[in-house]
Copies of this chain bind each other. A is one copy, B any other.
Amino acid sequence: MSSVFPLRPHASLEQISTPCLVLERGKLARNLTRMAATLAVRGVKFRPHFKTAKSVDIGLLASPPPLGAITVSTLREAEYFAYHGWRDIFYAVGLGPGKLDRVTALLRQGVNLVTLCDHADTATAIRGFAQREALTFRTLIEIDCGDGRGGVPPDSAELLPIAKLLGPCFAGVATHGGQSYGERDAAGLARVAQAEVAALRTAAAGLHAAGYPSSILSLGSTPTALAATDLAGITEVRAGVYMFGDVYQAGIGSCTLDDIAVSVLAEVIGRPAHRPNEFLIDAGAFALSKDISTAKLSPEKNAGYGLVCDLDGELLPGLRVANTWQEHGLVVSATPLPPDAFRIGTRVRILPNHACPTAAAHDRYFVVNRSRDVLTEWTRVNGW
List residues of A whose CB falls within 8 A of some B CB.
Answer: 17-20, 51, 73-75, 93-99, 102, 118-119, 121-122, 125, 149-150, 152-153, 156, 158, 178, 267-274, 280, 282, 285-287, 289-292, 325-328, 330, 343-345, 347, 356-357, 360-363, 382-384
Contacts and interface: CB of A to CB of B under 8 A. Distances in A.
A93 B328 contact: yes
Contacts of A20: 384
Given A269-B93, A361-B360, A384-B17, A325 B121 contact: no
A328 B149 contact: yes
28 contacts: A17-B98, A17-B102, A18-B98, A73-B326, A93-B269, A93-B327, A93-B328, A94-B270, A94-B328, A96-B267, A98-B345, A99-B267, A118-B270, A121-B271, A122-B269, A125-B344, A125-B345, A149-B328, A150-B280, A150-B328, A152-B272, A152-B273, A287-B384, A289-B290, A290-B292, A290-B357, A360-B361, A362-B383
Given A73-B326, A150-B269, 9 more contacts: A20-B384, A97-B344, A118-B270, A118-B272, A149-B325, A286-B360, A290-B292, A360-B361, A363-B383
A164 to B, nearest CB: 16
Contact of A357 (B178, B270, B286): B286
Contacts of A96: 18, 267-269, 282, 344-345
A289 B292 CA distance: 12
Given A326-B51, A328-B150, A345-B121, A93 B282 contact: yes
Contact of A327 (B73, B326, B343): B73
A269 B344 CA distance: 48
Contacts of A360: 286, 361
Contacts of A292: 290
User: Chain A contact residues: over half helix, strand or loop, or mixed?
Assistant: loop
Contacts of A95: 269
Contacts of A285: 357
A274 B119 CA distance: 12
A149 B269 CA distance: 11
A230 to B, nearest CB: 27
Contact of A363 (B149, B150, B287, B382): B382
Nearest to A363: B383
Contact of A122 (B93, B122, B344): B344
Nearest to A18: B98
A361 B362 CA distance: 10
A326 B52 CA distance: 10
A93 B282 CA distance: 8
B326 A356 contact: yes
A150 B94 contact: no
Given A19-B384, A93-B328, A280 B345 contact: no
Contacts of A267: 96-99
A363 B382 CA distance: 9
A122 to B, nearest CB: 5
Contacts of A363: 382-383
Contacts of A282: 93-94, 96
Nearest to A274: B153
Nearest to A95: B269
In order of increasing CB-CB distance, the 4 nearest A-B pairs are A121-B344, A96-B267, A290-B290, A97-B345
Given A125-B345, A360-B286, A99 B325 contact: no
A383 B73 CA distance: 22
A307 B94 CA distance: 22
A343 B122 CA distance: 10
Nearest to A147: B325
